[in-house]
């Protein structure tokens, strides 16, 4: 099977398995912990020399620019939420502090109406689809979009109790996970070669949808941590 046909077959099989039997809470918790630990082992690609040099790759041509003079803290950047080898990695349980039930109302209190604008943006990007997968039309991509969004949150230690993280492992192959971690955590490392290496049969517009979804998932994860800290401070 081609990469595309194999992906669609896995999506179909997941839907059938879900209808036949749902995983227990214990199984879903175990699958989340496994995915979370494995996400720490995913090494992002590209060339890394920031903050001294910022490398942008177009095909095989590398353009280098010194950007340290434009930032106040050149050393600021993403760090994995836990050290590798730790047995008990911190987990942010989404049901304890969700965007819909907690973050939305707080951010609206802090900055009038910004919550509505953010919520509309999150929903629009999450639901964005042509209902296509490359040459296939009338495809329900909900399962795939949910896996992409939840994998980003998983990398940030956020767990949804009602989601089976086995879907992430089934739908997102290794090269895509590398791309997701790079774009989400180290965007300056992203290269065109990495972009071309996953979902080779998909249209560029569909892959742009992926980028938008990854960025909005990261933004919401960051907001959840920040707003939860503010809530704790206020109470």
Per-residue pLDDT of the chain in tens (235 residues, 90 and over written 9): 688 999 999 999 998 887 677 788 899 999 998 998 888 888 776 443 333 344 444 444 444 556 666 677 767 777 776 665 666 778 999 999 999 999 999 999 999 899 999 999 999 999 999 999 999 999 999 999 999 999 999 999 999 999 999 999 999 999 899 999 999 998 888 889 999 989 999 999 999 999 999 999 999 999 999 999 999 999 8
* Short-list 120, 124, 189, 181, CA closest to 156: 181
Contact 151, 166 (CB under 8 A): no
- How far is CA 145 from each of CA 1, 11, 59, 122, 126, rounded to the nearest angstrom? 22, 11, 28, 13, 7
CA 65, 68, 73, 74 torsion-angle sign: positive
Contacts of 177 (CB under 8 A, 6+ apart): 39, 42, 151
In whole angstroms, how large is the CA radius of gyration of the chain? 19
The strand pairing partners of 132, in sequence order, are 137
Instruction: Name, in order, each residue with C-beta under 8 angstroms of 152's C-beta and a sequence gap of 6 or more.
Output: 180, 184, 214, 217, 218, 221
CB environment 81-94: b (16+ within 10 A), e (fewer): beeeeeeebebbeb
Helix H or strand E segment including 95: none
Cα angle value 66/71/75 (rounded, 5°): 85
Whose tokens are 């959840």? That residue is: 224
**pTM across the whole model:** 0.85
Q: What are phi and psi of 93, to 5 degrees?
A: -80, 115
Domain ranges (residues) in the chain: 3-56+76-234
Q: What are phi and psi of 2, to 5 degrees?
A: -70, 165
């Amino acid at each position: 099977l081609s990469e595309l046909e194999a992906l669609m077959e896995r999506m179909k099989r997941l839907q059938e398995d879900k209808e036949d039997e749902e995983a227990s809470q214990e199984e879903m918790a175990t699958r989340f912990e496994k995915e979370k630990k494995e996400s720490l082992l995913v090494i992002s690609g590209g060339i890394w020399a920031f903050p001294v040099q910022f490398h942008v790759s177009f095909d095989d041509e590398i353009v280098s620019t010194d950007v340290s003079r434009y930032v106040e803290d050149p050393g600021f950047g993403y760090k994995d939420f836990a050290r590798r080898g730790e047995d008990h990695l911190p987990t942010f349980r989404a049901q304890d502090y969700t965007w819909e039930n907690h973050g939305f109302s707080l951010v609206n209190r802090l900055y009038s109406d910004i919550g509505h604008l953010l919520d509309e943006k999150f929903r629009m990007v999450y639901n964005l689809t042509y209902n296509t997968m490359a040459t296939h039309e009338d495809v329900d991509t909900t399962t795939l979009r949910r896996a992409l969004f939840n994998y980003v949150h998983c990398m940030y230690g956020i767990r949804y109790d009602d989601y089976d993280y086995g879907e992430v492992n089934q739908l997102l192959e290794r090269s895509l996970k590398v791309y997701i971690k790079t774009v989400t955590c180290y965007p300056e490392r992203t290269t065109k070669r990495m972009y071309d290496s996953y979902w080779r049969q998909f249209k560029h517009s569909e892959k742009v949808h992926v980028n938008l979804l990854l960025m909005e998932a990261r933004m919401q994860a960051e907001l959840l941590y920040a707003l939860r800290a503010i809530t704790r401070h206020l109470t």
